[in-house]
Amino acid sequence: MAEFKTSFIPKKSITQTQSKKPQKGVDLVLFISLILFLATLLVAGGVFVYGTLLERQEQSLILSIERAREAIEPELVDSLKRIDSRIEATRQILDDHLVISTVFNLLEQLTLESVSFDGLLFSMEPNGKIILKLSGVSRDYSSVALQSVIFGENRFIENSIFSDLHLNPQGNVLFNFSANINDRLVSYKNIFVDSSLSGI
């Protein structure tokens, strides 16, 4: 039989084979770790510098605001506030002001020659509706009917009603008239805004 010689002593050195291969891998890992560490330090330093810069800008803006407040005179501010409140009160008065003369002008334009009015009541209800009540005289019933059509077609006279028609001893027709007046007709501010009211 053949004899085999076995030896447990390695012929090549173990330290030589193991030391060459791992050294390259360790160097690469160490290099990548070092780059990541330096990048992290660089980013942290940038964030710190940026935060410091923002704090300085904030302090600068606060100082600018304080200087601007000191530059504005409190007496001037109080005076301007009083003027503003007066202007606003005046504007409100003008917005709420009613011009009754436009109602008379409208009646003058729309009233027929055969119709005349001898009584007028102008009032405003709590809800803001403007009520016009008239009493008048006409030559005949057809004039009252025509006057009713004319008032009914006008955009400023709403819900017009002729009532209590009867003859007087002279043969003329007496009547009462009531209607709501569109508030655009009597509003002071609308006279300047609505050009169609300028001729009334």
Quote the pLDDT of residue 19: 47
**All domains in the chain, ordered by first residue:** 98-197 (3.30.1360)
Over the chain, what is the mean pLDDT?
Answer: 84
* Integer Cα distance of 151 and 112 in angstroms: 11
Q: What is the pLDDT of residues 123-153, one digit of tens each?
A: 888 887 889 999 999 999 999 999 999 999 9
Residue scoring higher pLDDT (191 or 16): 191
The three-class DSSP label of residue 153 is helix
* Integer Cα distance of 116 and 118 in angstroms: 7
Question: In DSSP terms, which residues pair with 121 in a beta bridge?
Answer: 133
Quote the pLDDT of residue 68: 81
Q: What is the pLDDT of residues 5-50, one digit of tens each?
A: 666 665 665 555 444 455 566 688 888 888 999 999 999 999 999 9
User: What is the 3 state secondary structure string of 48-60?
Assistant: HHHHHHHHHHHHH
